[in-house]
Amino acid sequence: MFFWSRASKKSSIIPTGPEANRLRHVAIIMDGNGRWAQKRGLPRAAGHREGVKAVEKIVAEAVRLRLEVLTLYCFSNENWKRPQVELDALMALLEHFMVSSRPKFMEQNIRLRVIGRREGLTGSALSKIDETIAMTGQNSGLTLQLAINYGGRQELVDAARTLAGKAQEGTLKPEEIDEEQLAAALYTTGIPDPDLLIRTAGEMRLSNFLLWQLSYAELWVTDVCWPDFDEAKLRKAITAFQGRTRRFGAVK
């Protein structure tokens, strides 16, 4: 199954009126750690360690910018195909980040959410994730949402299973299933959809990330690998977003 900590407020799927121009939620596909390391003759694990440092900088900047939500694509379902030595390094980094970040999360009023399937993650990693979620659950500032062992198609499958179960129980009629019902069954229930998607390392694809939620997001891609992505580049992406007109299919 998947895990998450629920938000206290629900937002409409597509914002209307002044809300349509407001930047509430930034999602980032953090790509290029391995390439960054290989270009420097370093093991891929070194790139992941530098990537964590970039995460810390961007999270702090998101707090300063007063974003409501920052979602980071940390580890996909497909990443299990990587060499075991790299997987071990990633899990060790995950556990260390969950513990070492707690003082900053509390100081900066950050609330942690994690989306993805629990199966496959170690018991140690899960316990540290759950402890950090519980510790930050009452914080009211930035919601930091980490996608770990996540896949967009898998999320939609899980949502379909949830709705099918309700229909089988008789608590939901098939004809009552609409976009709001489906959105409420997703891992991200209660969280506004991303307004801006940033992808580093120059790749032009979604890579199975937030397939439902990114339907109306503005896209911004940079050739910079994730370890070199900094506060100035985040602001550059936001400036580009602010110069765009979002119509959501309507005519302005």
Span 113-133, pLDDT tens digits:
999 999 999 999 999 999 999
Q: What is the pLDDT of residues 158-185, one digit of tens each?
A: 999 999 999 999 999 999 999 999 999 9
The band of 83, judged by pLDDT with boundaries at 50, 70 and 90, is very high
**pLDDT at 2 exceeding the cut of 80:** no
Tell me phi and psi for residue 246, to 5 degrees: -105, 115
Q: Give the Cβ contact number of residue 117 at 10 Å.
A: 18
The pLDDT of residue 196: 98
Per-residue pLDDT band for 7 (boundaries 50, 70, 90) equals very low
Residue 10: band (very low, low, confident or very high) from pLDDT cuts 50, 70, 90: very low
Q: pLDDT at position 12, please?
A: 41
CA–CA separation, 210 vs 81, rounded Å? 20
Going 132 to 136 to 142 to 143, the CA torsion angle's sign is positive
pLDDT in tens, 189-245: 999 999 999 999 999 999 999 999 999 999 999 999 999 999 999 999 999 999 988
Q: What percent of the chain has pLDDT over 70?
A: 91
Residue 252's pLDDT is: 66
Average pLDDT over residues 6-18: 44
Task: Give long-range contacts, CB 8 A cutoff, 24+ apart: 235-240.
Answer: 235/61, 235/65, 237/26, 237/196, 237/198, 238/23, 238/26, 238/65, 238/196
pTM attached to this predicted model = 0.91
For the domain covering 24-150+190-242, report its CATH number.
3.40.1180.10
pLDDT of residue 5: 46
- Predicted confidence at residue 250, as pLDDT, reads 74
> For residue 9, which of 17, 152, 19 has the smallest C-alpha distance?
19
Catalytic residue among 21, 31, 33, 158: 31
For 58-74, write each residue's pLDDT tens digit: 999 999 999 999 999 99
Annotated catalytic, 79?
A: yes
| pLDDT value of residue 247 | 74
Catalytic residue status for 77: no
More confident residue, 164 or 17: 164
The catalytic position among 33, 77, 79, 230 is 79
